[in-house]
Structure 1
Amino acid sequence: MKKVFLILLSFSVFGIQTINAQSKKELKQQQKEKEYSATKEIIESGNFVFVPDWVNTQKGRRVNITGDGNTLKIEGKKSTSDLPFFGVSQTAHYSGNGGIVFTNSNTEFSTEFNDKKSKIIIKFKATEKSETFDIHMEVFSNGNATVRISSSSRNSISYNGKVTLLEDKKDN
């Protein structure tokens, strides 16, 4: 009788732990879906900003740029970039700051929502003077993003950071 009681008690304890573990997993999944939905709304708004924390060069160097004021902004059809560049340039740039700086007023975006993997892919091209940039942005469910930029005259570079809604700057 004592053995039967212990066996039943152990089954009930393990059963409760299994149910609890499933509910934690479900809660985590629900949280991820909620974050993805919020991130998806930001991207669909067409007004967002990518603020990088890290730069990854083609040669493997990783540089922390948190708080340096660097951004990649999307405002409707307008794309604006002011990002630092660390790497090799095949063409001499006699003017400018050497970063990846451009403003394009009529940008054609390609946006792919992968709901199964909870990520968003955004691709577009930008030009500044004689240089062309191919931008590939991968945005994850929590708003973290990786931006890879290939240039017609520089080594490719990538940035890690966060995508947030672009705040309207209205004069009061």
Structure 2
Amino acid sequence: MKLLNRISVVAAFIFIGINMAGAQTRQEKKAARVAEVKQLIESQNFVFDANYVNPSRGAGRALTSSDYDLTITKDTIIAYLPYFGRAYVAPSYGSTEGGIKFTNTHFTYALKAGKKDGWNITIKPTNKNIGDSRDVQSLYLTVSSDGYASLQVISTNRDAISFNGTIQQRPVKK
């Protein structure tokens, strides 16, 4: 009986040790992710990968394609996002345009600390004469310290729309 008690005590200590080592590893991974997200946001060089859309009208839905994103660098923003909602001005006849798709090199980027943790980013295109981006008035990106984000797109000729997703490092082009 004593042997059984000793074995159970040793097993309990081993189990506790493994759990403590796993908790430290999770904490280290979270700290590394927080540092990575902070560096990406402050360097203004990241990609917002959208995985859920919340239109102003109707139900939200998961995005099944991983191609929808907003790429941000110091000198360019590239949007390739879907649009679900009401448009007040229709695209020209025969146009295959749809969604929120544009590339813009003239914009303002304002970064502020969030209330609890994370960041609030406001991006406003400044050249309204370019046909690709004249509809988008502003982009509001709320980023948590661990990389989860919400993007709200405000347009002139469409209802507002928001997306949920994550912040990722921008892939290196070959």
Residue 36 of structure 1, CA deviation? 2.7
Contact 1:33–1:141, Cα closer than 8 Å, also in 2: no
What SS class does the counterpart of residue 142 from structure 1 fall into? coil
**Aligned equivalents of 1:125 and 1:65: distance in 2?**
25
Identify if the C-alpha distance between structure 1 residues 29 and 124 changes in structure 2 by more than 3 Å, giving closer, same or farther: same
What SS class does the counterpart of residue 37 from structure 2 fall into? helix
Structure 1 equivalent of residue 153 of structure 2: 149
Q: Structure 2: which amino acid aligns with 1:169?
A: K
What SS class does the counterpart of residue 108 from structure 1 fall into? strand
Structure 1 equivalent of residue 56 of structure 2: 58
Contact 1:146–1:158, Cα closer than 8 Å, also in 2: yes
What SS class does the counterpart of residue 76 from structure 1 fall into? coil
Structure 1 equivalent of residue 167 of structure 2: 163
Residue 119 of structure 1, CA deviation? 1.1
Contact 2:49–2:66, Cα closer than 8 Å, also in 1: no
Contact 1:58–1:157, Cα closer than 8 Å, also in 2: yes
**Aligned equivalents of 1:86 and 1:38: distance in 2?**
32
Moved more, 141-150 or 58-67: 58-67
1:133 to 132, 137, 144: 137
Instruction: Spell out the pairing of 1:5-154 with structure 2 (5 A cutoff).
Output: 34-94=32-92, 95-114=95-114, 117-126=116-125, 127=128, 128-129=130-131, 130-154=134-158
Q: Structure 2: which amino acid aligns with 1:52?
A: A
- TM-score, structure 2 as length reference: 0.73
Aligned residues: 145
Deviations 1:29-76 (A, max 9, x none): 887655333211111122110110000010241111133411100021
What SS class does the counterpart of residue 86 from structure 2 fall into? coil
Q: Structure 2: which amino acid aligns with 1:77?
A: D
Identify if the C-alpha distance between structure 1 residues 38 and 149 changes in structure 2 by more than 3 Å, giving closer, same or farther: same
Deviations 1:62-117 (A, max 9, x none): 11113341110002121010100000000111234210111111221001123x61
What SS class does the counterpart of residue 149 from structure 2 fall into? strand
Contact 2:56–2:159, Cα closer than 8 Å, also in 1: yes
Sequence identity of aligned pairs in percent? 31
What SS class does the counterpart of residue 42 from structure 1 fall into? helix
Deviations 1:125-163 (A, max 9, x none): 235514233100001111010000110000000000011
In structure 1, list runs of 5 or more residues that go unmatched. 1-23
Q: Structure 1: which amino acid aligns with 2:34?
A: Y
Structure 2 equivalent of residue 5 of structure 1: none
In structure 2, list runs of 5 or more residues that go unmatched. 1-22
**Aligned equivalents of 2:173 and 2:64: distance in 1?**
22
